[in-house]
Chain A
């Protein structure tokens, strides 16, 4: 279980952004603990966890939408230096959801496209294209800055 914690956190951060990733991670592992005894023997635990994380991320997005959005700016906080992944997250956030998911599940969790397709609900070709398009866009938006 512990060995997958880091991968799932990375996936949650990529899909949801750093702020909401913690809750999705917690919900994922709690749900996994509840369901663990029913996990068939020999099942790919990481793929299973990513599947749960995918659903929890969707829940998280819905919950965020329901929350009233603050209209006024909060009083200026002394800003911390930007997290090293802030720019990457901004680039990821700009991607269409399915591309962001495909990039996270394939490139971060290492799942084959067939499994990615099973999770996001499309087919292997579409999953492959979404991941490729996502990476291409990331490369043009974020890669250039990072490469300078």
Chain B
């Protein structure tokens, strides 16, 4: 008998083989896409406000998530709410990544990406639809946005709509601030909101 344990005995089969898995994964994405089996494609990008998760359906960009939202959890919820066919497929998000890069590089003040608003419903969706009316470098109060969305009294609901915006940065909820001049809350954190407003002010 030798002193080799079960795990050691099988150690000759590496537990992970990253290059092989990367190659196989790329092949799977191609095959899945050809068969229409890729419902949610995602990738992450680095940005001045931290790592961003980008996810898209066939219809368009469906989710932008900050690191503090926990990307794994976000992906889990996408699998529950949209489809479990979620794959890391960076190429499907090249256009999104490029536009966001340009935005942070002061080379873009308007996103023209196909968007999928399915994660926002009802009044929240209504609010999000009005947010792009607040131009780059400008801000509007929660009250003004509520009025624009047709419900002047729904100030708190506007706050909720912004706090649950599935497409932050691209749908500019960071431009919604408090009437008293306070910066207000942000799902990416107040620092991220300030960073975005500062970026746009320059």
Binding site for B on A (CB under 8 A): 1-2, 5-6, 9-10, 13-14, 22, 25-26, 29-30, 33-34, 36-37, 39, 84-85, 87-89, 103, 107-108, 135, 138-139, 142-144, 146-147
Contact = CB atoms under 8 A, between A and B. Distances in A.
User: Chain A binding site: helix, strand, loop or mixed by DSSP?
Assistant: helix
B28 A138 contact: no
B1 interface: yes
A59 to B, nearest CB: 16
* Among all A-B residue pairs, the 7 with the closest Cβ atoms: A88-B12, A147-B2, A33-B37, A85-B12, A6-B16, A143-B4, A36-B84
Contacts of A135: 6, 9
A80 to B, nearest CB: 14
12 contacts: A2-B25, A5-B24, A26-B24, A34-B37, A36-B84, A37-B83, A88-B12, A107-B6, A135-B9, A146-B4, A146-B8, A147-B4
Given A6-B16, A138-B10, 6 more contacts: A22-B24, A29-B28, A30-B28, A37-B83, A107-B7, A138-B9
Given A1-B86, A9-B24, A34-B37, A144 B2 contact: yes
B149 interface: no
A107 B10 contact: yes
Contacts, number: 90
Interface string B62-105: 00000000000000000000011111100000000000000000
Nearest to A148: B2
B12 A9 contact: no
Contacts of B3: 147
